[in-house]
Amino acid sequence: MVRHQSPAPCDPPGGGYEVTRAQQESRLHSPALPSPRGELSDGVINALSTGTAAPSLTRFADPYGDDLQLALYVLYELHYQGFDGVADDREWDPELLALRRSLEQPFLTALRADTPASAGAEAAFACLLVDSLGCPDTSVSRYLQQEGEPWQLRGYAAVRSLYHLKEADPHAWVIPRLHGQAKAAMAAIEFDEFGAGRADEVHARLYADLMADLALETAYGHYLDATPAEGLATVNLMSLFGLHRALRGALVGHFAAVEVTSPPGSRRLAEALRRTGAGPAAQRFYDEHVEADAVHEQVVRRDVVGGLLAAEPALEPDVVFGIRATGFLEDRLGARLLGAWRQRRSALRAQPRRH
């Protein structure tokens, strides 16, 4: 049974947004299929819910829009936790895989068009280091640090939960595609992300603890219906890069961008949580990332990126593309969040009521 509360923690004062709580491991169960957002996602969700063949679609929506991004997210999720009531073997259904590829192409084409070629990896890293300082007008973490309210922090945490409750999983896909120093360094970082052998230290588990401190539902995938296209796209990017060997350089670039920008952003978010009186588990998640990712940043640049490019120098444009595409999509998400918050509106979509 779902409980409905109004006003709810993710909405501005006077708003109404559904929130539930679950006292259990976040990934103990697979989530329910989401509600469709258009023709593409409706076809995919219907095929999965009824066990029928994938639809034949010839018309595609905005590559960054809700419909295509949700359809792509659902197809990618078959490789992670799957969905309640959907057979596990649909993961490798050839028709669904063909459909997924047809959706990936416009997304990838749009990303390449919107992140034109630039200088090499070192120049891209230099830009990251400048951007990580956080522009007051575009930095979500700086806004939350300086003036964020509890409902905005909760909304941000809900959107990010689609990734953080499976943190590092998309990046693990690249390990079999690397070798030598790059592989060893990537595996070492992932070992830390997965708790260094301790289940209670797995970063996804720490994020579930953060959500519990913020009175959010901790069940995996719960906020899929609420997350706007801009949030879905940031997660889809990781899956797109991770599931294609041909894009291994882009995945490494994406991972590097995340690790380089994480320490300053995490520090600001930890300060925002302390300022608004969030619980210790909420603060700990970002405090942990300030310390861990400061070390990871150096390892990624020197050993993962450096090791990859020493072995496969032709992949440098892909590494740069991964860095730039990550920044581009994060800027889109930031604009969505800040635009809504500055108008005293929730950035989340209305979540369908389920009984």
Report how far apart, in Å, the C-alpha atoms of 181 and of each of 120, 245, 312 are.
Answer: 20, 18, 12
Which amino acid, residue 188? Answer: A
Average pLDDT, the chain: 89
Q: Measured in whole angstroms, how far is the alpha carbon of residue 289 from the centre of its chain?
A: 16
Q: Give me the percent of the chain exceeding a pLDDT of 90.
A: 73
Mean pLDDT computed over 110-121 = 90
Is 78's pLDDT higher than 80?
A: yes
Tokens of 182: 């790059």
- The 10s digit of each residue's pLDDT in 286-331 is 988 887 666 778 889 899 999 999 999 999 999 999 999 999 999 9
pLDDT(264) > 60: yes
Average pLDDT over residues 6-26: 54
Exposed/middle/buried for residue 331 (C-beta within 10 Å: 0-12, 13-18, 19+): middle
Degrees to nearest 5, angle at CA 71 with 65 and 72: 90
> Considering only CA atoms, which of 326, 352, 342, 340 is closest in space to residue 163?
326
CA angle (223 as vertex; 77, 235 as ends), nearest 5: 45
Mean pLDDT for 269-294 is 88
Q: Give the start-to-end residue ranges of the domains of the chain.
A: 39-113, 119-341
Cα–Cα distance measured from residue 111 to residue 103, given in angstroms and rounded to the nearest whole number: 13
Superfamily of domain 119-341: Heme oxygenase-like (1.20.910.10)
pLDDT tens column, 22-73: 445 788 889 999 999 999 999 999 999 999 888 887 677 799 999 999 999 9
131: left (phi over 0), alpha (psi -120 to 50) or beta: alpha
pLDDT in tens, 148-161: 999 999 999 999 99
| More reliable by pLDDT, 292 or 133 | 292
User: How far are the Cα atoms of 119, 195, 288, 303 from residue 192, in angstroms, in the given order?
Assistant: 31, 5, 11, 16
Q: Which residue has the higher pLDDT, 2 or 336?
A: 336
Q: What is the DSSP string of 205-242?
A: HHHHHHHHHTT---STTTTTTTS-HHHHHHHHHHHHHH
